[in-house]
Copies of this chain bind each other. A is one copy, B any other.
Amino acid sequence: MKINEIAQILKEKNNFEILTHNYPDGDCLGCGYGLCLGLQQLGKNARVVTTALPKNFQFLTKGVKEQVFQPEYVISTDVADEKLLGCNQEKYQGKIHMCIDHHKENRVDAVVKYVDSTAAAACEIIYRLLLEMGVTITKEIANCLYTGISTDTGCFRYTNTTADTMRIVAALFEIGCDRDYINKVMFETKSKMRIEIEKEIYETMIFCCDDKCAMIYTTVEMAQRAGDDDLEGIASIPRQIEGVRMGITIREKPDGVYKVSVRTNGDIDACKFCKQFGGGGHVAASGCTIQGTLESVIEKLKKAAEEIL
């Protein structure tokens, strides 16, 4: 299916529900509300179905009309698998008409599928789709799409960022999206708890292999206190240190289980490293689970690091 073909289908249908994934992020919410605004602009009924709407994403709903209608056409955006629909899975499983996504390994069972894994964010696809549908990209739609694209690319730092990403964002800037507000909220805001937890994590840092390997850890107590949001992205901390070629993050789980994340610059095979412990993943980012005490886990990892570095 080509993008103009899926645009044609949407133009012919009405009464849409747009599904997002569990623990919704900037990209799926940006897709959802951006597409919803576009469909409403064409005089159609549409709503976004989400398991949650975190406070910092509430601005995305600006301009979205609450409409009462009987849903006829279900679209999933940025959802790689029906399992990721969370509490909405049961209701929508097997009932998705159109799946729009950028995850290579998309497993959604839908009548129509449009998956473009070259898109850094699913919002890039929605941008093109809206243009094909003849929607005017308003400031509100631009805000949704910029939020998705900027968050899924780490504000254009990640390797998935492409020339097309930059050109789409140039267009969104010209429409006058609230880039400064969005950047501030998404990238320049830390909670007090995050600051507290970062400080504690820095204190756990251990170096080995002539400082080529750095390890950090979190305890069950720290994880409970901080919560998922405030621990996001911590696995990237040890590898950021100058000279460090392998960064290891150890997360204590209940019952003597330790989840280990390994990050390298791709020159050292993190996947091979984790396979020794029954784990795996990618060359630059892998993980495994080790049982034992914190001390024994650290010792095992140190020994393995010394062999590989």
Contacts and interface: CB of A to CB of B under 8 A. Distances in A.
Contact of A189 (B159, B169, B198, B242): B242
Interface string A48-88: 00000000000000000000000000000000000000000
A242 B179 CA distance: 18
A296 interface: no
A50 B156 CA distance: 30
Interface stretch (A20-28, A132-140, A180-188, A300-308): A180-188
Contacts of A241: 189-192, 195
Contacts of A265: 184
Contact of A202 (B166, B174, B195, B243): B195
Nearest to A203: B199
Contacts of A179: 159, 161
Given A156-B156, A199-B202, A242 B163 contact: no
Given A190-B241, A190-B242, A199-B199, A157 B170 contact: no
Contacts of A205: 195
11 contacts: A157-B183, A157-B187, A163-B171, A184-B265, A188-B236, A192-B207, A192-B211, A192-B241, A192-B243, A198-B198, A199-B202
Given A155-B157, A157-B187, A192 B242 contact: yes
Interface in A132-162: 155-157, 159, 161-162
Interface residues of A, number: 41
Ranked 6 nearest A-B pairs via Cβ: A166-B170, A163-B170, A163-B173, A199-B202, A166-B166, A191-B242
Copies, count: 2
A21 to B, nearest CB: 25
Contacts of A240: 188-190
Q: Which of A184, A191, A195 has the most chain B CB atoms inside 10 A of its CB?
A: A195
A42 to B, nearest CB: 26
A192 B211 CA distance: 10
A2 interface: no
A167 interface: yes
Contacts of A90: none
B242 A157 contact: no
A164 interface: yes
